Amino acid sequence: MRFLLIFLTMAFSVGCSLTPKMAPKLNVPSKPLLSKEIYQLSYSTELDSARIKSVQLPAHPIEKNNTVRIVADKVAMTDTLKSYIEQALQKQGLKVIEKYSADYVLNIHQLDLTFGPDKTYVLNRPKKSHALFTLVTQKSPSYQCRNIIASVSMRLTHVASSDVIWFAKSSIDSASFQGIPLQFSYTKEQKITNEHDILAFIVEQNSEQARIARAKEPVAIPQYVVEDIISGPEKSAGACSATEVSALSSAMHQKLSSILIDKINVL
C-alpha cells in the first residue's frame, strides 16, 4: 500500500511537469473616455423690408362699423387667406358681410408668387474661432438659396359712388420674410477605429496555444486608436430649397395682406 501511494505521487509529479505552463487570459482593456461636441454655424444674406405702396383718397372717409364685402374672383385665394383678411378688417373696426349692400367692396387684384434671383448666404464668423470653422470655410463658404417673391395688391371701392378710395400694393422676398440666417449643426465626436481588431487580438491570444507561447514571450495589447469624426451639416433653421421657400408662400401672402389693411385709415 505504501509503495502504491509513492507511485501515484511520483506519477502526479511527472504529469504536472509534462503539462505546459500557460500565461493567464488577457482581459479586454478599458475604453478611453470619448468626447462629443456640437457646433452651430450660420449663413446670412442681405435683407430688405417689404415694399409697400398705399394711397387713400379723402372723398369718402371710412368709419368704424362700415360694412365691407370681399371680392377675389380674379385670384386664387384660399379660405385660410380669406379668413385672415376678414380678421384684419375686423381688427380695423370694419364689418365683413356677403351682401351686395355693403358700404365698400375690397377687391383683391393680385396674389402673385414668382421665383426671383437666388440669394447668396455667406458664412458668419463665430465669436470664438475653431478648427471646424476653418474646415467649413474651405468646403462651404456660402450657399445659393432659391428666392420666391410674393406680391399682393388690393383696392377699396365706395359702393354708392363707385369711387376707388384706397389702393395698395406690397411685395417681399422669402429671404427677407423669414429674416433669419441659415443655421447648420456639425457634430464632432471621437470614435475608436480599431476596437474590432483589439477584440480579435484578445480572442486569439486567449487560445491555449497562444497562452503557452505567451508564458515564454509576453505580448502587449494594442492601444486603442481614437480619431475625430465630423458629421453634418444638418440644417436646423432657414428655408433654402425651392420646396422650402415655396412652403412660406401662404404665410407671406397673409403677412402682406395684414400690412396693407393696417394702412387703411378708419375714423
DSSP string, 226-254: EEEEEEEEEEEE---SHHHHHTTHHHHHH
Q: Is 196 contained in some domain?
A: no
Q: How confident is the model at residue 17 (pLDDT cuts 50, 70, 90)?
A: low
User: Measured in Å, how far apart are the chain's first and last C-alpha atoms?
Assistant: 130
- Quote the pLDDT of residue 19: 72
| Residue range(s) defining the domain that contains residue 138 | 38-188+233-261
Q: Is 165 contained in some domain?
A: yes
Q: Is 266 contained in some domain?
A: no
C-alpha cell at 14: 511527472
In terms of average pLDDT, the best of 19-23, 128-132, 197-201 is: 197-201
Q: Which residues pair with 129 in a beta bridge?
A: none
Q: Which residues pair with 142 in a beta bridge?
A: 122
Structural contact between residues 112 and 154, judged by C-beta atoms closer than 8 angstroms: no
Q: Is 29 contained in some domain?
A: no
pLDDT per residue as tens digits for the range 137-146: 888 999 999 9
pLDDT per residue as tens digits for the range 133-166: 888 888 899 999 999 999 999 999 999 999 999 9
- Quote the pLDDT of residue 248: 97
Q: Is 19 contained in some domain?
A: no
Residue 95, CB half-sphere, CA atoms under 13 Å: how many? 11
Q: Between the CA of residue 215 and those of 13, 223, 244, what are the distances in Å? A: 20, 21, 67
The number of domains in the chain is 1
Q: How confident is the model at residue 20 (pLDDT cuts 50, 70, 90)?
A: confident
Q: The pTM is what?
A: 0.77
Q: Based on the number of CB atoms within 10 Å of its own CB, is 179 exposed (0-12), middle (13-18) or buried (19 or more)?
A: exposed
Structural contact between residues 246 and 148, judged by C-beta atoms closer than 8 angstroms: yes
16 pLDDT above the threshold of 90: no
Using CA atoms, how far apart are residues 10 and 13, in angstroms rounded to an integer?
5
Residues 6+ apart with CB under 8 A from 206: 25, 26
For residues 166-178, average pLDDT: 97
Q: Is 178 contained in some domain?
A: yes
For residues 56-81, average pLDDT: 96
Q: Are strands 142-158 and 104-123 parallel, antiparallel or unpaired?
A: antiparallel
Using CA atoms, how far apart are residues 93 and 112, in angstroms rounded to an integer?
28
Q: Is 16 contained in some domain?
A: no
12 pLDDT above the threshold of 80: no
Q: How confident is the model at residue 18 (pLDDT cuts 50, 70, 90)?
A: low
Q: What is the CATH number of the domain that holds 163?
A: 3.30.160.150
